[in-house]
Amino acid sequence: MRPFTGSYTLDDVQFLLKPMRVDDTPVHLKEALIQSGKKHYSQMLSHESLPADDYVALFHEAMALNQERVAEHLLILAQQMIATRPKGITLVSLARAGTPVGVLLKQVLKRYFNTEAAHYSVSIIRDIGLDNNALRFILQHHAPESLVFVDGWTGKGVIARQLADSLADFALSDAVNIPAELYVLTDLSGSAAVAASCEDYLIPSSVLNSTVSGLVSRSVYDPHSAEADDFHGCVYYQHFTEQDLSAYFIETMLDCVARVWQSGTFEPPTINRSQLQTISQDLLHNLAEQYGISHANYIKPGIGEATRVLLRREAQRLLLRDLNAEATRHLRWLAESKSIPVNVCADLPYQAVALIKEINS
C-alpha cells in the first residue's frame, strides 16, 4: 500500500489510508444496522454533502472566537512533545479529527522548536483498534519510541483506551513496544497522557467534516472485503475541492500561532486527571439514569463529540449548559435544521452533550 496526502501536501501529512468507493448508507438505516448489531459503524458511511453557506459562516465565527486559544494550546503541546520525546518525534495523528492538529503541530515544531517531524495519519476504530498495517509501515522508517499519537480532544476516553489496548496487542503480535500515550489539545475525560487543556471549548476544525480535513472521510473497515495487507479505507471527496477549507485553516492558524509566539504567554496547565475521570463517569451514570439510556456509547459528551453526532448520527436530543453560548451556535443550528430537541442543563460539566436515539429493533 502507498500513502496519499488528500488535499494537503506531502510536507503536511501522509494518510496511511486506502481511498476507495463506499456505498452510501442513509443515517437512519446506518443507525438501525449499528444498534441491531448487523453491521459495525466502521463498515458504513453516510456520504457527505457540502455544508450550507450559513453553516460555513459558523465555522468562520468559531475561528474568530477560538483561534488564539488553539494557537496557544498547539505551542504548549509542541513544548510537551519536545520534553517527552528528546530523541526525535514522529507524529501519528488519528484520522480524522487528529489530522488537522497533526499538520499544525508538524509546522509548529519545525518553525518554533527547530524540530523536523514526519507526520502520518492512521485509522483507529472503536472495537477494532489501530490499523496494524499502518503501524508496520511507520516502523519501517521510524523508531517506536519516537511515535506520538495525536487527536483533537477526548470525550469519554474511548479512543485513548482503544489506543492502549491496540498497542498492548501489537506488542504481543509484533514484539514491538510503542508508548500508549495520547496527546490532545483538550482532555475532557482525563484519559490522555498529555494535554494542553481540559476545557470544553470549540475547536474550529470540529465544526466541519472532510472540507477541513484534507477532503478525507472518516476511516472505514470491512474485514470481509479488506485484503490482508490493506490499510483501512476512506473516501476521498476530491469533487469538493472548490469548497475545501483545509489549507485555509492551516494557514490562518499558523498566522495566529506566530502572533501568540511573539506574546510568549503560553504555559502548560496543571490538569487533575483523576478529578476529570470522576466527573466523566458521574455524568455518564447520571445521564443514563435520567434519560433511560442503555449504553454509554449513546452518550457523547463535549462540543466535539456532540458535533459528530449531529453531523453523522441519529440524535435523540442535545443538552446544552447555556442556550446562548457562542461556542454552541453551530450545534443549535444543526439541532434546529434536523428538528432535534434541545434541553438546557445548567449543571452540565461540559458545554454540550448529545444523546443518540436508541432504535427498538
pLDDT computed for residue 265 by the predictor: 73
By percentage, how much of the chain surpasses pLDDT 70?
99
The verdict on residue 43 lying in a domain is yes
Half-sphere exposure of 84 (CA within 13 A, CB side): 20
Residue range 3-7: average pLDDT?
Answer: 91
Write down how long the chain is.
Answer: 361
- Are 60 and 194 members of one domain? yes
Q: Give, rounded to a whole angstrom, the gap between the first and last alpha carbons of the chain.
A: 39
Residue range 231-258: average pLDDT?
Answer: 96
pLDDT tens, position by position, 89-112 = 999 999 999 999 999 999 999 999
| Weakest-pLDDT range from 49-53, 164-168, 221-225, 287-291 | 221-225
Predicted TM-score of the model (pTM): 0.94
At 45, the amino acid letter reads L
Spatial separation of the C-alpha atoms in residues 9 and 11, rounded to whole Å? 5
- How many C-beta atoms surround the C-beta of residue 245 within 10 A? 22
By percentage, how much of the chain surpasses pLDDT 90?
82
The verdict on residue 162 lying in a domain is yes
pLDDT computed for residue 361 by the predictor: 44
Reduced to 3 states, what is the DSSP secondary structure of residue 64?
Answer: helix
Residue range 189-214: average pLDDT?
Answer: 95
Q: For residue 17, what is its C-alpha cell?
A: 489510508
Counted domains in the chain: 2
At 301, the amino acid letter reads P
Is there a cis peptide before residue 96, judged by omega within 30 degrees of 0?
yes
Q: Which H or E run contains 136?
A: helix 132-139
pLDDT(33) > 60: yes
- Are 192 and 326 members of one domain? no
Q: Which residues contact 286 (CB under 8 A, 6 or more apart)?
A: none
The verdict on residue 5 lying in a domain is no
- Are 240 and 308 members of one domain? no
| Structural domain boundaries enclosing 294 | 273-356
pLDDT tens, position by position, 263-294 = 877 888 899 999 999 999 999 999 999 999 99
| Weakest-pLDDT range from 32-41, 70-79, 135-144, 199-208 | 32-41
Spatial separation of the C-alpha atoms in residues 68 and 76, rounded to whole Å? 12
Q: Give residue 46's pLDDT band: very low, low, confident or very high (50, 70, 90).
A: confident
- Are 109 and 214 members of one domain? yes
The DSSP-derived string for 227-292 is: -TTPPPEE-B-GGGGGG--HHHHHHHHHHHHHHHHHHT---PPP--HHHHHHHHHHHHHHHHHHHT
SS3 content of the chain, % helix, strand, coil (to 5): 45, 15, 40
Q: Chain-wide mean pLDDT for the chain?
A: 93
Q: Give residue 1's pLDDT band: very low, low, confident or very high (50, 70, 90).
A: low
